[in-house]
Amino acid sequence: MVLCGRCEADLAAAPRVIEPGPPGVDLAVAASPFDGVARSVVHGLKYARRLALADVAADAMLRALPDHERAAVVVPVPAGSWRWRWRGFDPAEEIAIAIAVATGMPMSSCLRRAGGRRQVGRPRSERLSGPPAVRATAKTPREALLVDDVWTTGATLSACARALRKGGCRRVVALTLARTV
């Protein structure tokens, strides 16, 4: 068991967030606000390298996702290459893999960050005015389920959606574990 029973129940009971999404995203879904257990799961995965929490995040995210949105290709939001080297893994990719395995949905790591500043710790105005540079490095799917751990301002999700749409994607649904308020 990765989480205690109480934490599992708290995460399952968290109010999901469903909104139209940031520019370029047709629908954005978060399994929970970014607090309590969801915050602990994100921090445990990203900073404590507890990779088993990717499965916990995926389960919560799939419970929040409307059933009719499961026909897309799973696309992880890419980490910066220096971030990947530092961690040795990409949290969004680990969650995306868990979602693909749990559902049988195909997955495509078709996006790459092409530089840009780290988003964590930046003020909202800086995040929105200087989003990360993202580009498609492989064929983009017609419909994408864009997966990330946290949805803050939506700048990163929008940058990814732009790259997907530039490659021919027609529908982008963002799915995250948590949404900052």
Strand partners, 135: 112
pLDDT at position 83, please? 65
CA 100, CA 15: separation in Å to the nearest integer? Answer: 23
**Per-residue confidence in pLDDT tens, the chain, 181 aa:** 789 999 999 999 999 999 999 999 999 999 999 999 999 999 999 999 999 999 999 999 999 999 999 888 999 999 876 666 667 889 999 999 999 999 999 999 999 997 655 545 545 555 455 557 899 999 999 999 999 999 988 989 999 999 999 999 999 999 999 999 7
Residue 95, pLDDT score: 98
| Predicted local distance difference test score (pLDDT) of residue 131 | 59
16 token code pair: 């999901």
Q: What distances in angstroms separate CA 150 from CA 58, 130, 160, one per listed residue?
A: 13, 18, 14
Cα separation, 67 vs 9, whole angstroms = 21
Which one-letter DSSP state was computed for residue 93? H
Q: What is the pLDDT of residue 76?
A: 98
